Chains A and B, each alone.
Chain A
Amino acid sequence: KAGVTQTPRYLIKTRGQQVTLSCSPISGHRSVSWYQQTPGQGLQFLFEYFSETQRNKGNFPGRFSGRQFSNSRSEMNVSTLELGDSALYLCASSLEGRARDTQYFGPGTRLTVL
């Protein structure tokens, strides 16, 4: 079974631009979560989608948004990029998005904001 895939793997943007990242979950998984990883803040939860609905949200500004499609694929968007948005963005999928479900992570998208 194919793992979680994320595209693109690397992105370079400038301040003020917006960016869209894509995540394809493991087949059959209905929950997709997004995390931001930075050297200073570590791994932080952004949001989780299940059946095309955002179920949980972390403590991030409204510039960070996402959506999920009927095939469970998910995208996250960051508008008006800031230097501090430079990070590794990780997507994880799980069967039902319950706390006990194992989350399987993709390789991440490395975003650099100049």
Chain B
Amino acid sequence: AQSVTQPDIHITVSEGASLELRCNYSYGATPYLFWYVQSPGQGLQLLLKYFSGDTLVQGIKGFEAEFKRSQSSFNLRKPSVHWSDAAEYFCAVGAGTASKLTFGTGTRLQVTL
């Protein structure tokens, strides 16, 4: 069965600083990987996804992520964080033929001004 680990529960960065959120997955074959963001009291919004091709994926709101098979990682990055990026970020993996997503425990991002 697949699994996802997000090692950082909480991260604080200053506005304008760069950001990297870590995600490691466990799955025997090439997984489908997703990053979602959740603002307080809201549902999940897709930032980006990877399922094949170029290992550097561009998403919305200036986010990007890089798939590294050798490290089983799919880290999310942003060169310059805005105060509105404060939210909880979830990495998820889909595998096989089923639509079931397995989520990590999330990383809460705080942005200081």
Contacts and interface: CB of A to CB of B under 8 A. Distances in A.
Contacts of A101: 99
A48 B43 contact: no
A33 B103 contact: no
B44 A90 contact: yes
Contact of A33 (B32, B45, B49, B100): B100
Contacts of B63: none
Contacts of B98: 48, 55-56, 97, 99
A108 interface: yes
B89 to A, nearest CB: 12
Contact of A102 (B42, B46, B95): B46
Interface residues of A, number: 29
10 contacts: A42-B105, A45-B100, A50-B99, A90-B43, A92-B101, A98-B99, A99-B94, A100-B32, A103-B99, A105-B45
Interface of A: 4, 31, 33, 35, 42-45, 48, 50, 55-56, 58, 90, 92, 94, 97-108, 110
Interface of B: 32, 34, 36, 41-46, 49, 51, 90, 92, 94-106
